Amino acid sequence: MQDIEKIYEEYFEIVNKYLFCLTHNSDISEELTQETFYKAVRKIDTYKGECKISVWLCQIAKNLWYDECRKNKKMIHTEEDYLHNLQPLDTIEEQIISNDEKVSLYKKMQVLDEKNREVMYLRITGELSFKEIGIILNKTENWARITFYRGKNRLKEVD
């Protein structure tokens, strides 16, 4: 098994960005990222190598977020929460989208299936590269790119 410090250094940013996409709160995402690696150290013997370490870590992170939501009796962010907590980002996609267009975009995204919507959120809100999205979702970079552009084209069809 790899050295946990090396794993931490290599995957901290990916896990943190993924959690930020889920939580839309940098403090919560950082806290849950730390908790993710703590849990990973404790459960490292359960890692069978059947998936990439980044996928395993993001799965732990997602489960911790869901546990946090249940513990606090919150529902996982509704669309209004997403829109209310949007923070300005500097991705190419975000630079060309005004606030009114963002609201419209996020409303339109609700017509997409879960995988397309998740890729769109990770790309736009999480500022993740297609490679990082592929790693998180246990798919290829090309799959993430195609899924994003298909989702984008589907949104163009929505009035």
pLDDT tens string, the chain, 159 residues long: the values are 457 788 888 888 888 888 888 787 888 889 999 999 999 888 888 888 777 888 888 888 888 888 887 777 644 444 345 444 444 444 444 444 455 666 677 777 888 888 888 888 888 777 778 888 888 888 898 999 889 888 888 877 876
Please choose, from the candidates 75, 52, 64, 56, the residue with its C-alpha nearest in 3D space to the C-alpha of residue 19. 64
Residue 143 confidence (pLDDT):
92
Q: State the sign of the Cα–Cα–Cα–Cα dihedral 153, 116, 128, 131.
A: negative
CATH of domain 79-157: 1.10.10.10
Q: How far apart are alpha carbons 26 and 130 in whole angstroms?
A: 21
Closest CA to 154 of 122, 115, 128: 115
**Domain edges within the chain:** 4-71, 79-157
Tokens describing residue 11 = 């995957």
Non-local CB neighbours of 77 within 8 Å, separated by 6+ positions: 22, 23, 24, 85
The yes or no reply on domain 4-71 and CATH 1.10.1740 is yes
